[in-house]
Structure 1
Amino acid sequence: MKEFFIKFRLGLAIIITKLTVFGLRIVGRGGTSLPGKIALRICPDIFNRLSDRFRIIMVTGTNGKTTTSRIIEGMLQKAGLEYISNKSGANLASGIATTLISALSLTGKPIVRTALLETDEAAFRTLAPKLKPEIVIVTNFFRDQLDRFGELYTTLNSVREGIQGSPESRLILNADDSLCASLGQDTSNPVIYFGLGDKVYPEDYLIANADAAFCINCKSRYEYLSSSFAHLGHFKCPNCGYERPTAQIECTQVLEYDNLSSTIEIQMPGGKIAVKLAIPGLYNIYNALAGAAVGHMLDLKEEDLVYVLEGFECGFGRMETLSVNGRELKLILVKNPTGFNQVLKYLMTQKDKCVIGFAINDKLADGTDISWLWDVDFEILSFMQEKVRRFFVSGIRAEDMAVRLKYAGIPSDHIFIMHGETELVYSLLEASNENETIYLLPTYTAMLDIRKSLKKRFNLKEIWE
């Protein structure tokens, strides 16, 4: 009788979730999280019930989850595997429940067998042991939304607990991140590491390691042979000897690097490949390496890896490029100091005139504490002022962003405050000329609002497509 009620609850959850998604999509809503919340209320153990119906790949970490997941999608397609994924970025338990149920028939049979799940770091702790992923990719760890995640090592330990509860999972870890690499210590899980070779980054970079300056094992200060950004690099503890592990997937050379793309050489276990990435930015080289590692696990040929990496298309809001009224609008999500600094560093490669907009919200999904803006190196924007026609700020905390730019050395008469995403988009278009680039840097909820406005005006794809 007990088993009957469990099956009944699962079946009811599937039917009601599908009906809710259908209804929400009809009225133009995403239907990515609410249906999953309903499913979890009806059948709290739904993840345990569904785990054996899918081959599950989970992607977690602070930055790069969505972009890495999109690259892995290309790898799955090239391998001829049908899959489901949470493309919208709804990566909490509710969003993942919606995603899995959408890949089931009304009778609970899987329509596809592979599920690629971008997963929030805090949620990973409880979800991974229930879902039993075949592959787990961890991108990196940085300070992010202190009001929700708390101290950095709390986030690390959440992921560690999830991995400990998934002893059969194969791990793909960032060798250059001392925190991420530590997940491969003393574990029985098979591990593949990815990272940049020593001194391959094309620019000198001052090591500014505030997040993980000290050894995770003995608390001595790390020494670095080279660094890419933040605490990522070839680290070594002079006391206990903990050091960057050997990377099986490694960028051995950066051949070209500008605001449009990066051409790199990657050492794979079977040999070297040269790839012109379709996306710019140092952080996207790391994302590409993580994706290549999954391709290697799927036994793709080297030419197939190159095909995917060169043809990759950005996910919504992650270096997404839109053609709008003869201008190129680049929508780039920002959410923490390290990621924001890398975006600003990317902006420094801009060669022609441009317009830059910021949209800063402080809703729960953005992080209610915006003091992190003062940890972002906006001062470097003063070196490219002659290329920026105007700076625009918008969002709930527009005034705070304007003050931050002023203290970064941007003249007040170059900073314009806009209230509302429609007004912001209109002003950005008005301030730019044809064939120029508009950079729009929003936090998460601001990005959703902006994209909704852009979709109405320019008929964009839905975020879940």
Structure 2
Amino acid sequence: MKQGFSNLRFLAAILAAKLSIVILRLLRSGGTSLPGKLALKLHPKILDRLSGLFRVTMITGTNGKTTTSRIVANMMEQNRMRVVTNKSGANLSSGITTTLISALTLGGKPRVTHALLETDEAAFRTLAPRLKPETVIVTNFFHDQLDRFGDLQTTVDKVREGISKIPDAVLILNADDSLCASLGRNVSNRIIYFGMGEGVYPETGANINNDAAFCMQCNSRYEYSSVTFGHLGHFSCPSCGFGRPHTHVECSGILSYDNLGSNIEISGPDMRITVKLALPGLYNIYNALAGASFGIAAGLDEKEIATALSGFESGFGRMETIHANDRELKMILVKNPTGFNQVLRFLLTQERPCVIALAINDKLADGTDVSWLWDVDFEVLTLMNDRIRAFYVSGTRAEDMAVRLKYAGISPDMIMMEKEYSQLISKALQKAEARESCYILPTYTAMMDIRKILKRRFGLKEFWK
């Protein structure tokens, strides 16, 4: 009797969630979190039951979760693995519940075999033991949303606690990140480390390590033989010996690198492939390495891995490109100092004149503390003053952004404020000339609002598709 009641409760939660998904999407809402909240209310342990219906891969970390998820999903699909994934980036328990229910029939049977779930770092501690993943990818750790995550070590410890409860999962970890690499110490899990080879970084310039300058074991300052960005690189502690672990998958060469993408060489166990990435930026090379590591964990051969990486294009808000008459509009999500700095480094590779719009909000999903803007190296933009036609600032903290640009050395005459997003898009496109690009750099909620306008104007896919 008790089992029968549980089954009825499970099916009722599925039906209610599916009905709410349909209604919300008819109303042009994403329907990515509310259906899951409803299902969890009706059946609080539904995630535990849902996880047993799929082979689960979880992806967590500060930067690169969504892009890495899309790379891995592309790899799965090209190799005939039927997969559901939370493409919208709804990565808390409610969004993940919605994602899994969307892949069930009304009778509660799975229509796919795999679930690929981007997971919030703070929620990983409780979600990992419930989802029981076969594979976990951890991209990196950087300071992010200070009002929500607080101390970076606390975030790392939450992920570590989650890992301690899933000893059978394969861990894919960034060897160049001392915080991430530390997750592989004293665990019984199989581990695949990925990272950049010594001396292959194509750019030069100062790198500021504000996130993990000191050894987690003894508090001595790390020494580096090479650095990519932030605290990522070939690190070692001169006191206790803790250092970068040996990598199983490594970028062993960068053959070309520009504002359109890169050609890279990836080496691994019995593997050496050359891949043309249609994703610009050093951070996307790391995302590709994480994807290649998953391919090895899944037993794919080097040809299958190379094909999947070469055929991948960016997802919504992550270097998403829209063609507007004879101009290009590119949208790149920004959310923390390290990620923003890498976007600015990418902009320095831009050869033609361009327009830059920065839309900064301080809503809960963005982080209400915007003091992090002062940790971003906007000063590098003065190196390309002759290639920037104008700066536009927008969002609820447009004034803060304008002040920050002024203190970075940008002439106030170059800074224009436009709070209305539709006008922001129109003015930025008008300011650019033929065959030039407009870059919109929004925080999360600004990105979602701007994307609604772009969808109406240019017919973009819904963000959850």
TM interval, shorter chain, is over 0.9
CA offset at residue 92 of structure 1? 0.8
Cα deviation for residue 103 of structure 1 reads: 0.6
Which residue in 2 is equivalent to 1:173?
A: 173
C-alpha distance in structure 1 between counterparts of 2:382 and 2:204, whole Å: 19
- Give the C-alpha shift of residue 376 in structure 1: 0.3
2:406 — aligned with what? 406
1:55 corresponds to: 55
Aligned-residue offset at 1:185: 0.3
1:42-121 matches, within 5 Å, as 42-121=42-121
Q: Is the 8 A contact 1:176 1:244 kept in 2?
A: yes
- Counterpart code for 1:25: R
Q: Over residues 102-123 of structure 1, what are the superposed CA-to-partner deviations in whole Å (9 max), with x where a residue is unaligned?
A: 0111111111110000010011
SS, match of residue 244 in structure 1: coil
RMSD of aligned alpha carbons: 0.9
Alignment check: 8 A CA contact 1:175 1:193 kept: yes
Distance in 2, Cα, partners of 1:254 & 1:136: 27
What SS does the corresponding residue of 1:107 show, helix, strand or coil?
coil
In the aligned structure 1, how far is the partner of 2:237 from the partner of 2:109? 51
Distance 1:57 1:366 in 2: 26
Kept in 1: contact 2:236–2:242 (CA 8 A): yes
Structure 1 unaligned spans of 5+: none
Which AA in structure 1 matches 2:407?
Answer: Y
Amino acid aligned to 1:16: A
2:461 — aligned with what?
461
1:145 and 1:336 in contact (8 A); partners too: yes
Instruction: Give the total of aligned pairs.
Output: 465
User: 1:205–1:227: 8 Å Cα contact kept in structure 2?
Assistant: no
Q: Determine the structure 1 residue equivalent to 2:450.
A: 450
Structure 2 counterpart of 1:195, which letter? G
Indicate whether 1:369 and 2:369 are aligned.
Answer: yes
**CA–CA distance in 2 between the matches of 1:6 and 1:362?**
42
Secondary structure (helix, strand or coil) at the match of 1:217 reads coil
TM-score, length of structure 2 as denominator length: 0.99
State the partner residue of 1:341.
Answer: 341
Aligned mates of 1:77, 1:106 — CA distance in 2: 24
Q: Which whole-Å deviations, capped at 9, do the CAs of 1:145-187 have from their partners, x for residues lacking one? A: 0111111011101111111111111000000000000000000
2:437 matches 1:437: yes
1:299 is displaced (CA, Å) by 1.9
**Whole-Å separation in 2 of the counterparts to 1:148 and 1:405:** 26
Work out whether residues 274 and 306 of structure 1, in 8 Å CA contact, stay in contact via their aligned partners in 2: yes
Which residue in 1 is equivalent to 2:223? 223
Query: SS at 2:52's partner residue?
Result: helix
Between the aligned residues of both structures, percent identity stands at: 62
**Alignment pair present for 1:153 and 2:128:** no
Shift of 1:11: 1.2
Return the alpha-carbon distance in structure 1 between the equivalents of residues 246 and 5 of structure 2: 51
| Equivalent residues of 2:100, 2:115 under 8 A apart | yes
| Secondary structure, aligned partner of 1:362 | coil
Secondary structure at 1:416's aligned position in 2? strand
Letter in 2 for 1:444: Y
Q: Which runs of 5+ in 2 are unaligned?
A: none
Counterpart of 1:123? 123
**Corresponding residue number in structure 2 for 1:426:** 426
Deviations 1:302-335, CA, capped at 9 Å, x for gaps: 1221211111011100111111122111110000
SS in 1 for 2:95: helix
For residues 26-62 of structure 1, the C-alpha deviation after alignment (integer angstroms, 9 at most, x for no partner) is: 1111000111111111111111111111000000000
Contact 2:170–2:297 under 8 Å retained in 1? no
The residue matched to 1:53 in structure 2 has which SS?
coil
Question: Is contact 1:361–1:446 with CA below 8 Å preserved after alignment?
Answer: yes
1:434 deviates by 1.7
Contact 1:205 / 1:228 at 8 angstroms: preserved in 2?
no
Paired residues of 2:92 and 2:119 also in contact (CA < 8 A): yes
Q: Determine the structure 2 residue equivalent to 1:291.
A: 291
Instruction: Name the SS for the 1:94 alignment partner.
Output: helix
Deviation, structure 1 residue 6: 2.4
1:50-96, Cα deviation, whole Å (9 max, x unpaired): 11110000000000000000100111012211110000111111100
Pairing of 1:35-46 with structure 2 (within 5 A): 35-46=35-46
Which residues in structure 2 correspond to 1:307-386 (within 5 Å)? 307-386=307-386
| Partner residue, 1:13 | 13
Question: 2-side partners of 1:78 and 1:245: how far apart?
Answer: 31
Does residue 244 of the first structure (1) align with residue 233 of the second (2)?
no
State the AA in 1 paired with 2:137: I
| Residue 142, structure 1, aligned to residue 142, structure 2 | yes
CA drift of 1:271 comes to 2.5
Contact 2:175-2:194 at 8 Å conserved across structures = yes
- Do the aligned partners of 1:208 and 1:230 also contact (CA within 8 Å) in 2? yes
CA offsets 1:342-396 (integer angstroms, 9 cap, x no match): 0000000000110000000000000000000000000000110110000001111
Structure 1: how far apart are the matches of 2:3 and 2:86? 30
Distance in 1, matches of 2:311 and 2:238, equals 42
Q: Secondary structure at 1:229's aligned position in 2?
A: coil
